């Protein structure tokens, strides 16, 4: 299966559907990522704070898949923000992953209380210049954080990775990103299993109509909205289910009904409160 790619503002492109490893036990990561690669995923999303970069790296090495066929993202944790620590933190992530470069490196949270995301971004620009990072971006940045970054740098983030699912679509951030050529990555795309999306009649009904599961309908909604996403599952059957979404299409009424489910239903912390 060829996954569509999204063109980024820096000339690179990213597979629109990938596999995320938040809360994947480090002891199980190698096996779970190996399963995901066998299922067909080629885009992996990890972070220093997940504690499982080594497992991701081991699975990549054991897979034998040529590096250029893979897309790997990792993220800088908040306590590594600042000019002095970014390079060291990046080197350590790269070493844990066992890679010579990552495709995408993200500032994990703006952490406005630290007031360091602008200097951190300038260090990211240097990293990109070194060739060990193809693209740089941000995560959990809302409009005020993006406005400040754009005001103090000439490099526009390639992506903003934000909590986004039918009950929490962040329309203001998504519109700002679109206007400035920043691709949206949707984390918690299935509501992390915390928001009862799958039981909503708009989603369950579309699933029944297409002979697909509610999770597949939500993933399809994201794809048709143009989001990049990487749902997580530790179960191989669900990994395969979440990847089997390219043989049907939601009609406009179905898309509109799901888009109308916006409830400001955030399942995680507000970005201004994460330090």
Nearer to ligand NAD, 45 or 254 (CB): 45
> Cα separation of 24 and 18, whole Å?
15
- Asked if 45 and 18 count as a contact pair (C-beta separation under 8 A), the reply is yes
Q: How far is the CB of 161 from ligand NAD (least distance, A)?
A: 5
128: Cα within 13 Å, side-chain hemisphere: 20
C-beta atoms surrounding 103 within 10 Å:
23
Nearer to ligand NAD, 74 or 131 (CB): 74
Nearer to ligand NAD, 253 or 270 (CB): 270
Angle at 111 between CA 108 and CA 115, to 5 degrees: 125
Q: How far is the CB of 180 from ligand NAD (least distance, A)?
A: 19
Q: Of 50, 71, 105, 195, which residue is the catalytic one?
A: 50
Strand partners, 106: 75, 137
Nearer to ligand NAD, 109 or 176 (CB): 109
Tokens encoding 49: 């704070």
Q: Annotated catalytic, 117?
A: no
Q: Which residues contact 196 (CB under 8 A, 6 or more apart)?
A: none
Q: Residues interacting with ligand NAD, by CB under 6 A? A: 20-22, 45, 108, 139-140, 161, 187-193, 215, 230-233, 238, 241-242
Nearer to ligand NAD, 79 or 130 (CB): 79
> Cα separation of 165 and 5, whole Å?
20
Q: Which residues contact 119 (CB under 8 A, 6 or more apart)?
A: 81, 82, 83
Q: How far is the CB of 274 from ligand NAD (least distance, A)?
A: 8
Q: How far is the CB of 166 from ligand NAD (least distance, A)?
A: 11
Q: How far is the CB of 202 from ligand NAD (least distance, A)?
A: 17
Strand partners, 19: 44
Angle at 125 between CA 61 and CA 149, to 5 degrees: 120
> Cα separation of 16 and 6, whole Å?
6
Q: How far is the CB of 136 from ligand NAD (least distance, A)?
A: 14
> Cα separation of 157 and 220, whole Å?
25
| CB-closest chain residue to ligand NAD | 20
> Cα separation of 26 and 32, whole Å?
10
Nearer to ligand NAD, 108 or 151 (CB): 108
Catalytic residues: 50
């Amino acid at each position: 299966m060829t996954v569509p790619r999204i063109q980024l503002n820096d000339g690179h492109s990213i597979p629109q559907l990938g596999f995320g490893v938040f809360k994947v036990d480090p002891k199980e990561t190698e096996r779970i990522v190996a399963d995901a690669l066998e299922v067909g995923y080629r885009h992996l999303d990890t972070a220093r704070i997940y504690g499982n970069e080594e497992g991701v790296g081991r699975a990549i090495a054991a897979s034998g898949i040529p590096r250029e066929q893979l897309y790997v993202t990792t993220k800088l944790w908040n306590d590594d923000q600042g000019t002095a620590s970014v390079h060291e933190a990046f080197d350590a992530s790269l070493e844990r992953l066992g890679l010579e470069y990552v495709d995408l490196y993200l500032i994990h949270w703006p952490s406005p209380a630290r007031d360091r995301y602008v200097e951190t971004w300038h260090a990211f620009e240097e990293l990109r210049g070194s060739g060990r990072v193809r693209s740089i971006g941000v995560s959990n940045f809302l409009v005020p954080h993006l406005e400040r970054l754009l005001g103090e740098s000439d490099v526009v983030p390639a992506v903003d990775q934000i909590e986004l699912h039918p009950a929490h679509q962040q329309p203001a951030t998504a519109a700002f990103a679109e206007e400035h050529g920043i691709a949206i990555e949707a984390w918690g795309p299935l509501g992390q299993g915390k928001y009862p999306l799958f039981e909503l009649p708009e989603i369950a009904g579309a699933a029944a109509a297409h002979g697909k599961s509610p999770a597949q309908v939500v993933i399809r909604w994201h794809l048709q909205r143009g989001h990049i996403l990487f749902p997580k599952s530790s179960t191989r059957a669900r990994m395969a289910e979440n990847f089997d979404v390219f043989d049907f299409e939601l009609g406009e009424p179905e898309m509109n009904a799901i888009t109308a489910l916006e409830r400001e239903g955030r399942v995680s912390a507000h970005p201004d409160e994460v330090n």
